[in-house]
Amino acid sequence: MDYSALKKQFDRDGYIVLDSFFEAAQVVHLDGLIRRHYGTDPELQHSSEFLTRSQTDVIPWFPQQQGVRDFDVIQDNPRLNLITDTILGDDWYGQYCMVMFSRPGSQGQAWHQDCPPEHPQRFNLNRLVYTRDVDEETGGQVVVVPGSHRMGLLPPGDPSADLNGQVLLRPRQGTLICLHGHTWHRVLPIKATVRASINYRSAVAGTPEGVTDVCVYRNMRYRFSTASVIEERTV
Ligand SMILES: O=C(O)CCC(=O)C(=O)O
Ligand SMILES: [Fe+2]
């Protein structure tokens, strides 16, 4: 793997996609755990205000906080850590492992930045692992605007409308996506199957642990810890 080329690509685009980074055998077990945890009709956890206003339809799960250690093997994977060193430098820490689950027919996620971009050096790195293919048939493709991690605030506007320059990503089983938290991104609506991603969030040492507490949408800033809209955004 040409690490210096990957670093350049990440700095330019705000994301990199590495297909077949993990073997199927490494992710099918986790896929099974995720299906079992959520069952067929899991309850939504966020407040209804958040779900309506954010146009975001995901149910988070932090397996390690419940003592489920099966997810550690990816977190401890030497190649994943090498990629992370390449992107963040040697001094970084793993924040947590978060599974994000979407029910069939749900709306995915509207455009957002995981954390406010006012401090360009203060950001989370999403290390997203997919346990099943995501494509036109399943829906739930990831949409990004390349280079937007250097463009400041996501512009206010329609939470889910197309943006100039957007690119559709179709991760497959075993794909790793490294995504800068300031990059403008969204998830398209889900079709007939369930969808899940596993996110091993990390950050440069010194970045506050709660850096992703406030998320920027096109119509608001939302603080998860208090479940409140802290800023209305209008065009
Ligand atoms: O589930 C995905 O593919 C992306 C999730 C996301 O936006 C995030 O983890 O910050
Ligand atoms: Fe995100």
What does the DSSP assignment read for 137-180? Answer: TTB--EEE-TTGGGS-SPPSS-TTS--TT-EEE---TT-EEEEE
Q: Given this model, what pLDDT does residue 42 score? A: 87
* CA dist list (Å): 168 to 107, 112, 145, 176: 16, 15, 9, 15
Domain limits for position 102: 3-232
Using the mean position of ligand 2's atoms as its centre, give its distance from the Cα of residue 208 in Å.
17
Q: Given this model, what pLDDT does residue 224 score? A: 92
Residue whose tokens read 């670093």: 7
Residue 60 clears pLDDT 80, i.e. is over it: yes
Please give the Cα distance from 84 to 205 (Å, whole number): 12
Using the mean position of ligand 2's atoms as its centre, give its distance from the Cα of residue 139 in Å.
17
Q: Given this model, what pLDDT does residue 66 score? A: 94
Give the CATH number of the domain where residue 189 resides: 2.60.120.620
Q: Given this model, what pLDDT does residue 209 score? A: 94
Task: Tell me the pLDDT tens digit for each residue of 167-178.
Answer: 999 999 999 999
Q: Given this model, what pLDDT does residue 45 score? A: 77
Pocket probe mutation, ligand 1, options 128, 129, 182, 202, max atoms within 8 Å of Cβ = 128
- Average the pLDDT over 67-74 and give the result: 96
Structure confidence at residue 47 as a pLDDT band (50, 70, 90): confident
CB 187 near ligand 1, within 6 Å:
yes
State the average pLDDT for the chain.
95
Using the mean position of ligand 1's atoms as its centre, give its distance from the Cα of residue 123 in Å.
15
- Say how many domains are in the chain: 1
Task: Tell me the pLDDT tens digit for each residue of 97-127.
Answer: 999 999 999 999 999 999 999 999 999 999 9
